[in-house]
Chain A
Amino acid sequence: MTEQDNLKVLIEQAQNGDETAFGELYEVYSNRLYAFIFSKTTHKQTAEDLLQEVLVKIWKALPNYQDKQVQFSSWLYAIANNHIKDHYRSTARRPQTTELIENIDKTSNIDLEETVNKQYVANKLVCLLDGLPDNYRQVVECRFINDLSVAETAHITQKTQLSVRVMQTRAIYKLKKLMSKEDSNLYE
């Protein structure tokens, strides 16, 4: 039995109300969903809370998922994306990038310097992404941070695959410009 078949069986079982199967699906997709949510919220606690809410939403909607229509991962990301939008609509605020450094878990065993460096990189990237228009930012997040395919990105952003490719190219071009601007500011 291939991994794909195994996933299919798990999805079917979860659709029929099997909580254990849903737990296994959580193991497979939680990291990717968290990265997707975190790239949009840039706040650890908010990302975790939203992940929890999204997963409950997925559980509720699972019986309506149809294998033939769309890939399971795309369906999950679409739900997560809509939930994040609803979250920001209800709280009426944009994600805050300044909180990243504050999110370091000081109690964990991970090397503090390494953690700070990672957070710095993430913070820098999110600052750069803030300079992009919303649709470009979404494409970049899906393609390069969450490693989604063009088809999956197109499904989440509700655009055609061609326009996703075009937006990706333009976004990279814009990011390059922003980076060189940042570099020149640094050297001045």
Chain B
Amino acid sequence: MRLLEYQGKELFDQYGIRIPRSSLANNIDEARNGAKKLGYPIILKSQLTVGGRGKAGAIVKCKSEQELEPKFKELLHKEVKGELPRGILLEEMADIRKELYLSLFLNRTKRCYSLISSAEGGVDIESAANRVVVDVPIDGLSAQTAEDTAGKLGLTGKAIISFVDFTTKLSRLVNEKEAELAEINPVAILRDNSLLALDSKVIIDDNAVFRHPELKKYEHISELEKQAEISGFSLVELDGNIAIIGNGAGLVMSTLDMVSDAGGKAGAFLDFGGRATTESIYEALKVISKIDRIDSILVNLFGGIVRTNLVAQAILDAYKNNLINVPVFARISGAESEKAREMLNGSKAKLYNTVEEAIQAAVAALKE
């Protein structure tokens, strides 16, 4: 679960990690009230889950009340990488002496956290020079490690004490909230050598959210994703027009690659999990039927335990009940495939022997 900047900052605040004074606004009235409390100049920051906000012009400075309305409204309606903001964060401007990069990130290979920092803040960390990377055990960062890191970053005096306090608090947050990533880029060192979190990027382990009811309020899923989740499916909406349904995330990803290689564009990724039954395929078609841009459905099932005729029946039922009327191109390896082929005769669905053939047919049909 990727938190928005203001949500991550709410967590920072709860852990005593200092953040700028700020106010979230979803409309111009809220913006006016917020700005009045903060006093100008302020920064307007679009609340998005996609990266690259600065470059996309979704973070702007606002010097006066006259500027507020046009700038706020422009930002509120500005799409970045296909995403509209969920609110605009108004923030006071800080008196910055220096900027740092700081993150705690779950290192999959080492099975611990990595504390990554750099004396060069505000830039993409992959391109930052002089990165300092330290392994941190899952039970937390020690003050000694934090102090050593501060030294490597060239901090001195009071800034070291502030850095140790700041990072140990961030480590506690990451551990208690089961985050995969907590990134602050940049961290500002102010004139008085105290530290301030100017941004936040926090990702919580989705599988651990059940233990954190207090984070539930940050969950943001569409009606469609909710429906998919209830059925136990993984759904990712994409911008093309071919829906890809299959049993297993890897298999569906693989099909997506092959569709793309064949010149097609996927409009949905739907993995309905290990158990392929008549009900699950019918439910999957139901979810797909709610996505308008879908022109055809590609089904790739690797069977074994799947009975092909049951899948064929589910597809026929979906046509009969007017759930779908777009063509279905299916590859289903499993028992009774001859019977399934006969059943689908005369319908808009067709069974193919290999996934490659099904994809070729689906892509060719859309080009007609």
**A, B from the same assembly:** no
A residues sitting closer than 8 Å to B (CB atoms) are none
